[in-house]
Amino acid sequence: MDSLSDAVAWMAWTWQTVLFFAALAACLAGLTALAVYRPETPHVGVLGFATTRGDRFFVSLLLSAFIFVGFIRFGGQDFTWPGLAALAATALMFRFA
Amino acid sequence: MDSRVWDNRAWLFVVPVMAFVLFSSLIPMMTVVNYSFQDSMGQNSFFWNGPGWFQNLLDPTTAVGARFQGALLRNFAFSFTVLAIEIPLGIAVALCIPKSGWRVGAVLVAIALPLLIPYNVVGTIWQLFSRTDIGLLGVALGRSGVPFNVTQNAGSAWAVIVLMDVWHWTSMVALLCYAGLKAIPDAYYQAARIDGANRWSVFRNIELPKLRKVLVIAMLLRFMGSFMIYTEPFTVTGGGPGEDTSFLSIDLVKMALGQVDLGNAAAYSLVYNLITLTVCWMFFTYTTHADSKDVA
């Protein structure tokens, strides 16, 4: 991790943020590959309008961000809980949206 | 049978744009994310600060947290005030625009004029207009005994900024509503005449329901415009008196460029961005799904 940190330090990057954005890019690449090789039909769920996998992924990201912001706003310290809540929200989103 | 070959290679034409957006927008935004997790002592040397800036920002008992909460509440108050005035006024103006004849063009051009003026010019016009020494509005109010001073009185500053936004943007709401009204087929009005409906029930039962889509679009556009407003209030009040008209973008620019408080400003802009991104997503979703049958 130290060599990665050194390689990205000139633009104030850190290995944590590199991993985060790399995971995000991997998810987008995975969704693109799925869209090409396993095309889907959008379906209407709890959100009330037709969603694709991409929509559900984006809403999950937004929800997760709000979960973390809300958790910090009310003084939470242990980030395991909002992390688990974000994962649960994502799972619910992909199942019911 | 469809004999066309399935070929998506045309998407490759998008690659240069993607590369440019990555270079000009996405990577700089990622750098903001990096700033939000680190502290710096200058000399471009950074050290890890974890969620510290976010905890600072979202805790209203800290100085930065109080600033953020104040600016956020002020900004919501401003956006809702502006919407509460511009949407009904825009509908009213649209109902008064003639439907045919030479007057249509003349009225539409006159209404569109404020939309063509650059933001900083609008701000300068209203700044001069409201001055108590040489401005027509300021002098007129002063001589008639109304306590009015944009630089000292928060009420005056708010009144001028709200009035300025209404002057600048009601036209857009009116033009959108006018387009919506023009799209209502005449058969609806004929049916209303046969039923002997009065003007109010025509508006309530035909025009307003038919305007629903353009009104949602107008509301989202005006919310975004007023939530991200910077130039106009900055030109008129500079965020003052005190902090009374410091909206999010004004406060953020002060923090990031004035005080070079990178960590706090980065966390600030990310939370701000989260709100605008959510509204943008609602706007995009509504405009792409509103016409399709997939809305439940």
- Check CB contact of B3 with chain A, cutoff 8 Å: no
Q: Collapsing DSSP states into helix, strand and coil, what is residue A68?
A: helix
What pLDDT does B105 receive?
92
Q: Give pLDDT tens digits for B10-29.
A: 888 999 999 999 999 888 88
- Specify the higher pLDDT residue, A7 or B278: B278
The CA distance from B253 to B257, in Å, is: 6
Q: Name the B residues in 242-271 with CB < 8 Å from any A CB.
A: 271
Model pLDDT for residues A41-82, shown as the tens digit of each residue: 888 888 888 888 989 999 999 999 999 999 999 988 888 999
Say what the pLDDT of residue B291 is. Answer: 67
**8 Å CB contact of B277 and A17:** no
The superfamily in CATH containing domain B68-289 is: MetI-like (1.10.3720.10)
pLDDT tens-digit map of A18-41: 899 999 999 999 998 998 888 888
Q: Which ranges of chain B have pLDDT less than 50?
A: 294-296
Residues in B touching A55 (Cβ below 8 Å): 285
pLDDT at A13: 84
Instruction: Kindly write down the DSSP assignment for every residue of chain B, as one continuous string.
Output: --------GGGGGGHHHHHHHIIIIIHHHHHHHHHHTEEE-STT-EEE-TTHHHHHHH-TTSHHHHHHHHHHHHHHHHHHHHHHHHHHHHHHHHHHS-SSSTHHHHHHHHHHGGGGS-HHHHHHHHHHHT-TTT-HHHHHHHHTT----TTT-HHHHHHHHHHHHHHHHHHHHHHHHHHHHHTS-HHHHHHHHHTT--HHHHIIIIIHHHTHHHHHHHHHHHHHHHHT--HHHHHHTTT-STTTT--HHHHHHIIIIIS--HHHHHHHHHHHHHHHHHHHHHHHHHHHHTTSTT--
- From the list A20, A42, A73, the residue facing B58 with the nearest CB is A73
Q: Do the chains contact at A69 and B58, CB–CB below 8 Å?
A: yes
Please tell me the number of Cα atoms within 13 Å of B154 on its side-chain side.
Answer: 6
A81 touches chain B (CB under 8 A): no
Q: Residue A43 forms beta bridges with which residues?
A: A51
pLDDT at A4 over 60: yes
- Domain range summary for chain A, segments of one domain joined by +: 1-39, 43-97
Q: What is the pTM of this model?
A: 0.86
pLDDT (0 to 100) of residue A76: 80
> What's the gap in Å between the CA of B56 and the closest CA on chain A?
9
pLDDT, position B293: 53
Reported ipTM: the value is: 0.88
Tokens of A61: 């990201």
Inspect the interface and report whether the beta carbons of B281 and A58 lie closer than 8 Å.
Answer: yes
